Chains A and B, each alone.
Chain A
Amino acid sequence: MWAILSILVENKPGILFKVTHLFRARNFNIDSISVGVTENPDYSKMTITTYGDEKQVDQIVKQLDKMIDTVKVEHLDEHKTVFRELSIFKIKLSNANDSMEVNKLANAYGGKVHDVKKDSLMVELTATPDQIKAFEELAKPFGIIDVARTGVAALQRSGAE
């Protein structure tokens, strides 16, 4: 299963290394990771997505929780959580129609278009990983020159705790 983990950590140097090392050392895999300071500058929040069966995810949560720098670790329910990832695609434009087609596609996914050039443009998309993947599939025929993704950021919906 795909799991979203929300990890509140002390905002100290080296924490990211410790968390990512834990995944490596315990033979777990990181699907995506995002980190940012919270409203309290003493803490940062990491969102890590990973794959594993129920037992593996439970073990990942326990091992993360055991770390002294982690304040709170939650396995978020995908259906009770708002989760988004920012992605930027640089897409090739081969002919005059491509620009219009890509713009339509971007609009369909709520994306924004940047840096329009004669032979390329960029689409900024904030969406779920599934939506980003779907956009990527549709953009592939135009030619994807480059892509950058941030990893998922997630918050549990109010009342879902």
Chain B
Amino acid sequence: MNNMENMIGAKALMTAMEKEGVKEVFGLPGGANLPMYDEFARCNIRHILARHEQSAAHMADGFGRVSRKPGVCFATSGPGATNILTGIATAQADSAPMVAVTGQVPVAMIGKDAFQESDIIGMANPVVKYAFQPRHASEIPEVVKKGFFIAQTGRPGPVLIDIPKDVQQNEAEMVFPDEFKIPGYHPWADPDLVAVEKAIDMLLHSQKPVILAGGGTIISSAFAELQAVAEALMLPVVTTFKGKGAFPENHPLSLGPIGMHGHAEANRIMSEADCVLAIGTRFSDRSVGTFEEFEKNLKIIHMDVDPAEIGKNQTAQLAVVGDVQMNLRVMVKLLLQKAIKKTEETPWIKHVKETKAYWQENLKLHPGEMGAAKILRKLRELLPKESIITTEVGQHQMWASLFYDVIQPGTFFSSTGLGTMGWGFPAAIGAKVAKPDVPVVDIAGDGSFAMTENSLATAVLEDIPVIVFVLNNFTLGMVAQWQRTFYDRRMIGVDQGKCPDYVKLAQSYGAQGIRAQSMDELDKAIKDALSSDVATVIDIPIDPEEDVLPFVAPGTSLKDMILPS
């Protein structure tokens, strides 16, 4: 115990957050959180004004994924709190560290259907890692300490702190604890030496082993360890979409993401494998197709920090529970001790390389100058390797998966779990706040960008120069693709027309707007955006009929890819 001091709850909140190292928060004020907002005038935390609470949460989410510390967002009670829920649920689905702070009506008014009252704890509980509602000002310091701890340890996730207005205003003797107890929370497990040893044995005794790296690999920054294991055992590496970029995608052993819109070579090799070292993945249906078909004839070694993921979607022959970086470190150490380092190319690796080469040469691409592959490869060519990419949700997202190679691990982020359209742009703003010195690009579609485009105001007024790269097919492209493919071209509710004009829209916010209709224009636009000190929207009109292919249709297996004809 230390630092006993009398202060109001709102000040205690800011003091406790400063102690957690918070320097920036994203949010919107309202009646029920004004005591907290008033404290921003007296603390060293920068408040970044979002234009919608959902965007505030996505900004915090982007900040959290890049910094690996909880991003913080603020909203008022009632509609402010309900608006922020989509952002919270998105963070939960992708295990992103976040602390959301909402205002609430005074304690005595709770349950009375007061103005702008919502039972946000009840609504949020299913989509948060934990939710607090302190009923007395003196609880705030410990709640904040616990909240930040829960949000960033074990499998990270969002924590909600809902603070009634009178609790913010009331004065109490505050104790800022160094220690606290959460009896039921055990986020760490020691590395499992025995299981890791067995895993090595299983991989060595398999004919066609593969590594499947999921988002947990990125969350635990296990990049060097993953590469060391892959190289020592000469294992091909596929990823989930969330794990994209856990392994350098220009590495000879890299095959890229598997799944519904995975790389053809990755899906083929995954389908042929007899043993998989699955690292930090929940085996999403979008990644593995039908669960029964995926695990058929496949031995699964499942390494994950969350014991509840073991056996949830796929049956594992061997579980390695604990932080994946720690367990992979043990694996690297054991491989060194046993002097296991494969140097000769096995028939399996020869086959893997041939398969990769075949698909890279033979996958048919859109013939037009402004096809998605060419556009994204141009972006890759011009961006420094340390650039951070976020994406929206839709066709552009899957083209990014297919054609934008992540060279520096841990620089690619997307809403892969909840699939939230409108996530990428505000998340890019949060990412840029976390890492102001690297270019941050949101790869967007016109449909998704339309959902949170008003974050341009935040980017311009708060001086956060991100780049929005809009592959504009004037349609809700992925839905349109499904309607073309599965609904006999009955195109309902997908036409976005040519409105708005994103160049003019960007300019109206004071951002830079550039239209690129040829490769030369695109080249110049990207260079202009990279050298600009304001947010830039690059609008790139593309063919509305271009499909994302290969495609594994829902309810089918990875080997049943629909290929471009």
Contact = CB atoms under 8 A, between A and B. Distances in A.
Contact of A21 (B125, B130, B150, B315): B125
Interface stretch (B201-209, B306-314, B492-500): B306-314
Interface residues of A, number: 20
B182 interface: yes
Interface string B118-157: 0001100110011000000000000000000010000000
Interface string B173-187: 000000000111100
Contacts of B182: 68
Interface stretch (A31-39, A54-62, A76-84, A131-139): A54-62
B126 A25 contact: yes
B94 to A, nearest CB: 17
B122 A69 contact: no
Contacts of A25: 126
A68 B185 contact: yes
B125 A18 contact: yes
Nearest to B315: A55
A18 B126 CA distance: 8
Interface string A92-109: 000000000000000000
A69 B184 contact: yes
B374 to A, nearest CB: 43
Nearest to A67: B184
Interface in B181-215: 182-185
Interface string A38-67: 000000000000000001001100110111
Interface string A5-27: 00001100010011001000100
B127 to A, nearest CB: 10
Contact of B122 (A17, A67, A68, A72): A17
A67 B315 CA distance: 22
Nearest to B159: A68
A107 to B, nearest CB: 44
Contacts of A69: 184
B184 A55 contact: no
B158 to A, nearest CB: 13
B135 to A, nearest CB: 10
Nearest to A9: B184
A71 B308 contact: no
Given A17-B125, A18-B125, A21-B125, A68 B311 contact: no
Contact of B308 (A10, A55, A65, A72): A65
Contacts, number: 41
Contact of A55 (B129, B183, B311): B311
Contact of A59 (B126, B150, B308): B308
Given A55-B311, A68-B129, A10 B122 contact: no
B145 to A, nearest CB: 14
Contacts of A9: 184
B125 A68 contact: no
Is chain A's interface secondary structure helix, strand, loop, or mixed overall?
helix
A109 B531 CA distance: 85
A68 B307 contact: no
B311 A58 contact: yes
Given A14-B121, A17-B122, A21-B126, A66 B183 contact: no
A120 interface: no
A87 interface: no
A71 B125 contact: no
A83 to B, nearest CB: 23
A59 B184 contact: no
B307 A71 contact: no
A128 interface: no
A72 B311 CA distance: 20
A71 B183 CA distance: 6
A62 B308 contact: yes
A82 to B, nearest CB: 25
A65 B185 CA distance: 9
B323 to A, nearest CB: 16
Contact of A62 (B126, B310, B315): B310
A156 interface: no
Given A21-B125, A21-B126, A68-B150, A62 B307 contact: yes
A70 interface: yes
Contacts of B129: 68
A65 B312 contact: no
A68 B184 contact: yes
A55 B307 CA distance: 14
A17 B126 CA distance: 10
Nearest to B150: A68
A137 to B, nearest CB: 38
Nearest to B183: A71
Given A10-B184, A59-B312, A71-B184, A65 B125 contact: no
A146 B351 CA distance: 71
B130 A68 contact: yes
A65 to B, nearest CB: 7
Nearest to A58: B311
Nearest to B135: A13
A18 B122 CA distance: 9
B306 A66 contact: yes
Interface string B97-135: 000000000000000000000000110011001100000
A56 to B, nearest CB: 10
13 contacts: A10-B184, A14-B121, A14-B125, A18-B125, A62-B307, A62-B308, A62-B311, A67-B184, A68-B129, A68-B150, A68-B184, A68-B185, A71-B183
List the 4 closest A-B pairs by CB distance, nearest first: A62-B308, A71-B184, A66-B308, A71-B183
Given A9-B184, A62-B307, A69-B184, 8 more contacts: A17-B122, A17-B125, A18-B125, A25-B126, A59-B312, A62-B308, A63-B308, A67-B184
